[in-house]
Amino acid sequence: MATAGALPERLQEIVNDFELAEGSEKLELLLEYARQLPPLPDWLQGKRDAMDQVHECMTPVFVFAENKAGKLEFHFDVPPESPTVRGYAALLEEGVRGTTPEEILRIPGDFYQEMGLQDVLSPRRLQGVHTILAYIKRLAAKELDNGVAQAQVNLG
C-alpha cells in the first residue's frame, strides 16, 4: 500500500476523492477524468513518432514527457474508445503535473489500490494504471539521468 507522504500532493487528493466515492461512483469519477484528458498541444498533434508508445498496454497509448525547469509534464494520446485507460492517463497526468522526476520515482507502484477501483474493475483493467505509471517512472528516470549527464557536462 502507498504510504502517507509518498504521493505528490495532487495525486494524493485524487486518491482521496476515489476513496470517498462509493461503488459505481468510482467508475463515474474515472470516466469523468477520461473526459477531461487534455488534448495534445498543437506542437505534438499528429507527431506520434516524437512520442513514446506504452507497448505493454493493449490500447495504443502514447506519452511525451516535457521537462519544464526540472518539473515534468506528461502529454498523453489515448483513443476515446478506451475510456478506462484515458481515465488512468488523465488522473496520472493531473496528479503528477509539475513534479520532479524524484517525486515521480517515489510513487508506490500499487498506489491505486487505495482508490478502491478493484471493487468496480477487473484485475486486467486495473493493470492499465500500473503499466502507465511504470512507463512514466521510466521516463522520469531517463530525465533524471539526462539531468545528471547535463550537470557533468556543465562541470567539465
Domains and CATH numbers, the chain: 9-151 (3.90.1010.10)
Provide the pLDDT for residue 151.
Answer: 38
Provide the pLDDT for residue 147.
Answer: 64
What is the rounded distance in angstroms from the CA atom of residue 106 to the CA atom of residue 103? 5
Give me the residues paired with residue 75 across strands. Answer: 64
Task: Dump pLDDT digits (tens) for 17-51.
Answer: 999 999 899 999 999 999 999 999 999 999 989 99
For β-strands 71-77 and 52-53, DSSP reports them as unpaired
> Is the pLDDT reported for residue 63 higher than 70?
yes
Residues 6+ apart with CB under 8 A from 67: 143, 146
Closest CA to 61 of 144, 136, 141: 136
Provide the pLDDT for residue 128.
Answer: 84
Closest CA to 75 of 42, 103, 100, 102: 42
Spatial contact of 74 and 64, defined as CB atoms under 8 Å apart: yes
Furthest C-alpha separation in the chain: 57
Task: Dump pLDDT digits (tens) for 115-151.
Answer: 999 988 888 888 888 899 999 999 999 998 876 444 3
